[in-house]
Chains A and B, each alone.
Chain A
Amino acid sequence: MNTIKIMSAEELNRTFLRFAHQFLEPHDDPQQVAIIGMQTRGVHIGRRIVDIIEQEYGFKPDFGVLDVTFYRDDFRSRLKMPEVKVTEIPFDLYDRDVILIDDVLYTGRTVRSAMDALMDYGRPHSIKFCCMIDRGHRELPICADYVGMKLPTHVQEEVRVKVQELDGEDAVYVVKNSEEE
């Protein structure tokens, strides 16, 4: 197994800062923006961006946590049943501009599930999607509005976004299978 570091902690933090500005740029009323992190690493990335917005702009946008396990169409095809995690959206989604955050955009199935889930919570004015890494190989017509890095990958490779809170470091790695080398 060959592991390559793609982004360092400094590069990740610069990307979070860019996202914070991009999220608020098109809005006359920044309070319209609501940020929702997708379990698991999207939650931590979302919290970081919320903290940056608070430092830079002096207000804290509404923040929620979403687990899409119940809405996935592929959970029974995996070897193990996926563990259900907490969902908490403590504000009304009606007419809000929601920004969904995840660590890696791959097939697009998770984002589709997330949109289904959000519709059951209310009727947002808009939903935009932000991912740290877009690794390609889409199976659905979905693209991200905010991308940290576009990273062409092989299907056999694995992209791992690491965050300090869970993994003890901020970094992005690509794990290459030895068969390909």
Chain B
Amino acid sequence: MSEEIKLQEREGDYDFQQKHLLGLAHYSGDDIQYILDQAQYFREILDRPVPKVPTLRDKTIVNLFYENSTRTRLSFELAQKRMGADVVNFSTGSSSVKKGESLKDTIRNISSMKIDMVVVRHESPGVPHFLTRCVDAAIINAGDGAHEHPTQALLDLFSMQQVYPDLSGRHIAIIGDIAHSRVVRSNIIGLLKLGAEVAVCGPKTMMPAYVDELGANVSYDLDETLAWCDIAMALRIQLERQEDGTELFPSIREYHQMFGITMEHLEKYPDFTIMHPGPVNRGVEMESAVADHERSIILSQVTNGVAVRMAILYLLSGGTRV
């Protein structure tokens, strides 16, 4: 019965080597695709009778939010709790930051409480990178200034792949306030690494200099962009980042006329899918009916956000890395 046979080596698990998620610039296309592939299995947990697994029950995670956030913070917190982690929330409004405590002191104090991961949002670009030098925990960037917002980009990519499983060669348009958006930067980096073509479209006053250096096409004509794209992602007009609200365009009404997606656009260009990272200013970036249209995947973006963040927490939660 016994005989000697040369066996082929079996496939092993993908060797995911990342310790932090500071931005998609640090990730290869394979790393990004691996996270997206894994995230689809985490999506299923949310539909279980008991939508909770004990995977991170030995982990303590700090949510360090120096900037206001509703959905990103809720999404992270839900992802952490769905995986059984102990969660500590920190926000500047109710902390010693008000007493003048520096960022470095804050993180050192928190890390002395034996934490494993830090989810950080800060108004200054580079803060997550700075934290990697202060503590030994895994750092996840939940948005740093206008630099990157990698988890939002990953959930956008995941939502796009639900429509087009292979994004290679697909035309993706990002429309609106390009200059103030950190989501744009992460999205462009991620999309290009997955082989998509990206165009940004918006008023010249909201288009940063050298945006084409990132590898995206630039357009100032909404109709031209919608005729070209498979997916159109409208961005929120961030009035809070402009000093007096409308210094970059004459009026909200004019912005909507020039760059707002309307039902007419949906009829005229019947193929493109609508996305928006939220929250939508209805009647500004798009008509209310467009946001609720069957071609809009805005709500599934929110659900996907939890699954994608669960996958990220899982993959960065440890394991001996070579």
Contacts and interface: CB of A to CB of B under 8 A. Distances in A.
Nearest to B4: A3
Interface stretch (B12-20, B174-182, B246-254): B12-20
A6 interface: yes
Contacts of B14: 80, 83
Interface of A: 2-6, 8, 67, 69-71, 75-88, 116-117, 120-122, 160, 173, 175
A83 B53 contact: no
A6 B5 CA distance: 12
B13 A82 contact: yes
A95 B48 CA distance: 18
Contacts of B317: 76
B315 A86 contact: no
A169 B45 CA distance: 33
A120 B5 contact: no
Interface stretch (B36-44, B155-163, B197-205): B36-44
Given A3-B6, A5-B2, A160-B7, A76 B45 contact: no
A120 B48 contact: yes
B41 A85 contact: yes
Contact of B38 (A78, A84, A175): A84
18 contacts: A3-B5, A4-B4, A5-B5, A6-B1, A6-B2, A71-B54, A71-B55, A76-B317, A76-B319, A80-B13, A80-B319, A81-B16, A83-B38, A86-B41, A87-B41, A87-B44, A117-B53, A121-B49
B319 A75 contact: yes
B29 interface: no
A121 B44 contact: no
Nearest to B311: A84
B52 A4 contact: no
A67 B55 CA distance: 13
Interface string B49-62: 11011110000000
Contact of A81 (B1, B52, B319): B319
Interface of B: 1-7, 10, 12-16, 38, 41-42, 44-45, 48-50, 52-55, 83, 311, 314-315, 317-320, 322
Nearest to B3: A5
A120 B7 contact: no
Nearest to A68: B53
A8 B49 CA distance: 41
A19 to B, nearest CB: 21
Nearest to B8: A167
Instruction: Tell me which of B4, B6, B14 has the highest count of chain A C-beta atoms within 10 A of its own C-beta.
Output: B4
Given A76-B318, A79-B322, A3 B41 contact: no
Q: Which of A5, A70, A75, A88 has the most CB of B within 10 A?
A: A70
Nearest to B54: A71
Given A71-B54, A121-B48, A173 B5 contact: yes
Contacts of A5: 1-3, 5
A173 B6 CA distance: 11
Contact of A2 (B4, B41, B53, B318): B4
Contacts of B55: 69-71, 75
B60 to A, nearest CB: 14
Which of A5, A84, A85, A173: most chain B Cβ within 10 A?
A: A84
B174 to A, nearest CB: 30
A145 to B, nearest CB: 25
A5 B5 CA distance: 8
